[in-house]
Amino acid sequence: MKLTVYGKGGIGKSTSSCNISIAFAKRGKKVLQIGCDPKHDSTFTLTGFLIPTIIDTLEIKNYHYEDVWPEDIIHKGFGEVDCVEAGGPPAGTGCGGYVVGETVKLLKELNAFDEYDIILFDVLGDVVCGGFAAPLNYTDYCIIITDNGFDALFAANRIVASVREKSNTHPLRLAGLVGNQTSDRDLIDKYIEVCPMPVLEVLPLIEYIRVSRIKGKTLFEMAESQGELINICDYYLNIADQLLCQPEGVIPKEIPDRELFGLLSNCYLNPKAQVNNKNIGQIDEEVDIEFMLL
């Protein structure tokens, strides 16, 4: 099974990806996580350091692909999860999306894809241009990491559009949303009411998730010495279990930008209407002013 993980930049996508990868490994699967971001830190919490990228390796090999071996680019992480970082060109000098395509090409030439039960692409932010949407060409399911905020759901809607477009030519489905670090889910529920899709899991506000990123450890590794984290790991195991059941998934239909803006803005500007079931177009002026002052 091949998966892509997308989401707004800074939403906790890589932290979630690493913990989901470990969850699959805990279920006895052989897992490869591929970081598709020029800053090459997708696998940091799995390995504890910034591993050499494919671009780094190709430079050392003078771009002779035939001289690259699996052990040059695949690094072992916690829980026996294998890790690859695509890397990218220096800022402003080239296309990072092109590097993603070359990464896939090289891994195929090395027959690496045939060695794993699960391959997880952790892809740069909410950028779904041709290059960074390329991993969708190779995967069975897309997972979108979001929170209960306007910006993250707006980004999610753009990713939904990319999944819909790619599903026209590839057997791709959206597995669903994962809400990360959120105390509420009212906006998530409002969004999926209009744009139906599964919600695989919603993780509450947990400081340990942020701390794990700083420490360079997955929550599963931290749980070995901090038993109180075991229950948090269950969230990720639940996500893995749902995906291992090979769900049907959905081919989503994105919401037009103006419609989405209005939908989510009303939730912010008129929360009283959500509670009191007022007309959605009736905006409370006092709440509107409070929102503008935030």
For residue 45, with 0-12 CB atoms within 10 Å meaning exposed, 13-18 middle and 19 or more buried, which class applies? buried
- What six digits make up the tokens of 89? 């060109």
Number of H helices, E strands in the chain: 13, 8
Contacts of 205 (CB under 8 A, 6+ apart): 181, 182, 183
- Cβ neighbour number for residue 12 with a 10 Å cutoff: 21
Between 32-41, 92-101, 160-169, 285-294, the lowest mean confidence (pLDDT) is in 285-294
Question: Is the alpha carbon torsion for 111, 168, 4, 175 positive or negative?
Answer: negative
Residues designated catalytic: 8, 13, 39, 126
Which residues are documented as binding site for ATP? 10-15, 39
Bridge-partner residues for 76, per DSSP? 82
pTM for the whole thing?
0.88
In the chain, the domains with their CATH numbers are 2-273 (3.40.50.300)
Residue 54 has pLDDT above 50, yes or no: yes
Residues in Cβ contact with 107 at an 8 Å cutoff, skipping those fewer than 6 apart: 34, 84, 113
Residues making up the annotated binding site are 10-15, 39, 95, 129
Work out the average pLDDT over 11-25.
95
| pLDDT tier for residue 265 given thresholds of 50, 70 and 90 | confident
Band (273; pLDDT cuts 50, 70, 90): low
pLDDT tens, position by position, 93-119: 767 677 887 888 888 888 888 899 999
Question: 279: which residues sit within 8 A by CB, 6+ positions away?
Answer: 273
CB distance 102 to 54 below 8 Å = yes
On whether the CB atoms of residues 292 and 219 are closer than 8 A, the answer is: no
pLDDT at 281 over 70: no
Tokens coding 241: 């279990």
- β-pairing, 82-85 vs 75-76, is antiparallel
Structure tokens at 276: 């009191």
Answer whether residue 272 shows pLDDT above 70. Answer: no
